[in-house]
């Protein structure tokens, strides 16, 4: 059965698969690796312009290793999940320092690099060197869970182990590079999350979910708890030159290492913001203007952001230091910024765009 699974998939791929994505050109481990990391949690169409800009600036692992973290984050700005960018940078430095700039052709050594898990390591081996290795990303989990009607949420170890066993069973020993792309493409183009096109699927002859008309029940979703809600005041503090105070976030945690706007605890009332600015930032401000609030959702909570514009009238002590800098909004937009801050800086005078 497993050879026939791979064979059918490869025949389908030859006719319908994606063969001209930017990371298919000049294919090497570095280019495959960057694409794999960008594609985690992000759709191909979104990734393409980021990938091309990233490659233009960091064409090889040495260029990435030598870059400033800020610049790497800036090229990631908008893709979210910024730990991916920080790990990417660390891993590039490790490849240069410990492997003379050559990615190791070895699953365990690849997995030892920051941010590279079992599936990503396998994708690099298969796609860069055509070495037999099995991937199990979100698309592949969905195809296999349906084809074999694997019950349960893939985040559970037993379910995941079962899916890995099927992934390995089906991986052929030849044309592994094409097979890897084929199974990802099938998941993205045919066996989609909500509307699988089973009629045109090369696997429908013996797909268990198709047979029982239960495709959309697999894989089982995680039991979602209601996400907690948090609030914050986000301040656009403007000096007489129209410059805004920007702060760099601590290196770990939410938006780690990115530049953001100063925030205040939601426990402060709307009429206490000027006093809080003095206390926390040493700034005298007035004329608070409340912009429309909006919600940003992280994987584990909702953040209700209440933006407020304030005018700087004076200082109570010296302000600027390495992690807190006044920037013109145009310059600020060139920094590595979280998506909601970018949105605020791009449309501060057009609140209806928020
Ligand atoms: Fe997915 Fe349908 Fe193909 Fe089964 S037949 S693998 S459910 S698209």
pLDDT in tens, 215-271: 999 999 887 778 899 999 999 999 999 999 999 998 888 898 899 999 999 999 999
Q: What integer is the mean pLDDT of 19-34?
A: 95
| Separation of CA 261 and ligand 1 centre (Å) | 46
Q: Give tens-digit pLDDT for 106-164.
A: 999 999 999 999 999 999 999 999 999 999 999 999 999 999 999 999 999 999 999 99
Longest dimension (CA), the chain: 75
| Separation of CA 190 and ligand 1 centre (Å) | 7
Task: Find, among 209, 215, 212, 214, the residue nearest to 193 by Cα.
Answer: 215
pLDDT at 118: 97
255 sits in the region (left: phi over 0; alpha: psi -120 to 50; else beta) called left
In the chain, % of residues over pLDDT 90: 79
Q: Give, using CA atoms, the residue closest to atom 5 of ligand 1.
A: 204
Domain boundaries, the chain: 2-217, 229-353
pLDDT at 95: 98
Q: Is the CB of 65 under 6 A from ligand 1?
A: no
pLDDT-wise least confident of 98-107, 242-251, 317-326: 317-326
Choose which residue among 13, 215, 217, 219 to substitute to test ligand 1 binding: the one with the highest number of ligand atoms within 8 A of its C-beta.
215
Angle, CA of 318, 320 and 325, to the nearest 5°: 155
Q: What integer is the mean pLDDT of 39-53?
A: 92
Q: Is the CB of 201 under 6 A from ligand 1?
A: yes
pLDDT at 42: 87
Does position 352 have pLDDT exceeding 50, yes or no? no
CATH superfamily membership of 229-353:
Nucleoside Triphosphate Pyrophosphohydrolase (3.90.79.10)
| Residue bearing the bigger pLDDT, 180 or 253 | 180
Task: Find, among 268, 257, 260, the residue nearest to 231 by Cα.
Answer: 268
Yes or no: is domain 2-217 CATH 3.30.750.24?
A: no
Q: Which atom of ligand 1 is nearest to the CA of 215?
A: 7
Task: Find, among 276, 282, 330, 287, the residue nearest to 309 by Cα.
Answer: 287
Angle, CA of 323, 242 and 348, to the nearest 5°: 90
Does position 56 have pLDDT exceeding 90, yes or no? yes
| Separation of CA 207 and ligand 1 centre (Å) | 6
Does position 319 have pLDDT exceeding 70, yes or no? no
Q: Which atom of ligand 1 is nearest to the CA of 201?
A: 3
On the 0-12 / 13-18 / 19+ scale of CB atoms within 10 A, 300 is exposed
pLDDT-wise least confident of 92-96, 188-192, 234-238, 311-315: 311-315
Q: Give, using CA atoms, the residue closest to atom 7 of ligand 1.
A: 215
For the chain, helix (H) and strand (E) counts, in that order, are 15, 8
**Active site positions, annotated:** 36
Q: What integer is the mean pLDDT of 28-56?
A: 95
Q: Give, using CA atoms, the residue closest to atom 1 of ligand 1.
A: 191
Q: Is the CB of 190 under 6 A from ligand 1?
A: yes
Q: Which residue has the tokens 């730990």?
A: 83
Q: Is the CB of 209 under 6 A from ligand 1?
A: yes
Q: Is the CB of 143 under 6 A from ligand 1?
A: yes
Q: Is the CB of 337 under 6 A from ligand 1?
A: no
């Amino acid at each position: 059965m497993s050879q026939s699974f791979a064979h059918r998939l490869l025949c389908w791929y030859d006719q319908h698969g994606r063969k001209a994505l930017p990371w298919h050109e000049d294919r090497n481990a570095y280019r495959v690796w960057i694409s794999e990391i960008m594609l985690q949690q992000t759709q191909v169409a979104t990734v393409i312009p980021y990938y091309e800009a990233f490659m233009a600036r960091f064409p090889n692992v040495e260029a990435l290793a030598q870059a400033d973290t800020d610049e790497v984050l800036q090229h990631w700005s908008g893709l979210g999940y910024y730990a991916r960018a920080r790990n990417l940078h660390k891993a590039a430095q490790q490849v240069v320092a410990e492997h003379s700039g050559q990615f190791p052709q070895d699953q365990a050594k690849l997995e030892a690099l920051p941010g590279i898990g079992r599936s990503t390591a396998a994708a690099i081996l298969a796609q860069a060197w055509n070495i037999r290795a099995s991937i199990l990303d979100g698309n592949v989990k969905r195809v296999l869970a349906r084809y074999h009607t694997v019950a349960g949420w893939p985040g559970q170890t037993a379910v995941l182990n079962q899916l890995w066993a099927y992934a390995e069973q089906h991986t052929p020993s030849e044309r592994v590079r094409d097979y890897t792309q084929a199974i990802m493409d099938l998941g993205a183009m045919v066996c989609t999350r909500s509307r699988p096109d089973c009629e045109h699927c090369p696997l429908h002859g013996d797909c268990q979910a198709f047979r029982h008309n239960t495709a959309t029940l697999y894989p089982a979703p995680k039991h979602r708890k209601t996400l907690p809600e948090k609030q914050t005041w986000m301040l656009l503090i403007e000096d007489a030159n129209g410059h805004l105070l920007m702060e760099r976030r601590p290196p770990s945690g939410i938006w780690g290492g990115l530049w953001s706007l100063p925030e205040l605890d939601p426990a402060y009332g709307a009429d206490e913001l000027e006093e809080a600015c003095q206390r926390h930032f040493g700034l005298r401000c007035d004329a608070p203007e409340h912009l429309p609030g909006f919600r940003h959702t992280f994987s584990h909570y909702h953040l209700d952001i209440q933006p407020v514009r304030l005018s700087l009238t004076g200082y109570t002590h010296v302000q600027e230091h390495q992690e807190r800098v006044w920037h013109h909004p145009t310059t600020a937009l060139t920094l590595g910024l979280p998506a909601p801050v970018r949105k605020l800086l791009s449309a501060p005078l057009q609140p209806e765009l928020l």
